[in-house]
Structures are given as C-alpha cells and as structure tokens.
Amino acid sequence: MKRWFIPMLVLIASALSPAAQAAPLEHERYSGTDSFDFDDCGFIVHEEVAFEGNFLLKAPRKDGAPPYLLDNYEVHETLTANGRTLTIDHQGLYKDLRITLVEGTVYQFVSMEAGQPFVMRDSDGEIMFRDRGVLKSTFQVDTQGDTDLDNDEFVEDSFVLLADHGRHPGFYIDFCSVLDTYFNG
C-alpha cells in the first residue's frame, strides 16, 4: 500500500494543479530615443525623448478577440522653449484587465495603469506635478475584424476614467496652459 501512495499523490496533485500559462504572443524589451519640435500649444517646443520598457502581448481568452497588452515602461522627456527647460518622467505599468465584445468588431477594454505615470519638473528639478497610484479606465477599440493591431481604431469619446486610486493632478491639467505659463509666462 505504501509504495503506491507517493506515485498516486503525485498523479492527483498534477491533475488538480492549474494548467501552465501559454507563452506570450509577443514579448519584447525596447528602448530608444527621439528628437522633434511641436507647436500643438501655439508656440514651438523642442523635445528630446529617451524611453525603455518591457512589452508583452498575451493571447486573447476568446477566439477572434484582441490580445491583452502589458507594458512596463519608463520615459524621460526634456522640453525646451524660449531658453527654459522642463522635464517629464513617466514610469509605470499598463495592463489590459478585461476585453469584451460590444458588437461587430468593436471591443470594450478595461485597463489599469499603476506607478508614477507623470512627473513634471522645472529647470531647477522642483516638482510641478507628480502623479502616483492606480488609474482604472475603459475605452472601445474597433479591430476592423482582423488581427492586425496597426489598423485598430479607438472609438471616439469612448474613454472613461473608472477609478483614481492615488493622486493624479497631472491627469486633470490643461497641458498647453501649463506649458504656456511656464515657457511664456
């Protein structure tokens, strides 16, 4: 009786343990830099950007649905205009929590973003805005009925903030107004 106990216990334990997670569809560590000018706020701002992160696409839970995204990111932006400089740092984790078919090829996403997704500092390093905590949001995406993520379209006016756990003053600012006051003020 004893010699069958251990093999039987191993067999039962393996039968009751959860199935192993499938490998991700895509897993990529990324990094890069960029440099450009923009005038979205009515005056020219030069921007230097450095970024890195860990990007993961997980298989959808239902056939035909879009994949789940996870992005652990870090971005450093330096903005310069009129002889002044400010920096914006982003460090956080974005994760799709739930994806539900609405109709046709339109899906409703529920996602979260945790960390410090927005920290703005003046040229002396003094913090102007610091976001921290967790934001939970929902939005809709039209997948165009295929698996090509490059042609997906966000459905206009579908973004809704569901929860703000923490402090996110930068989420609620008028970005152009802040830049105008700082650079032209």
Q: What share of the chain is helix, strand, coil (3-state, %, to 5)?
A: 15, 55, 25
Query: Residues for the chain: how many in total?
Result: 185
143 vs 32, 114, 139, 151, 152, CA distance in Å? 28, 26, 13, 7, 5
CA 111 to chain centre: 8
Q: CA 38 from chain center: how many Å?
A: 23
Domain layout of the chain by residue ranges:
19-184
Strand partners, 136: 112, 163
Mean pLDDT of the chain, nearest integer: 89
Tens-of-pLDDT digits for all 185 residues of the chain?
A: 444 434 443 444 444 444 445 678 999 999 999 999 999 999 999 999 999 999 999 998 888 889 999 999 999 999 999 999 999 999 999 999 999 999 999 999 999 999 999 999 999 999 999 999 999 999 999 999 888 889 999 999 999 999 999 999 998 899 999 999 999 98
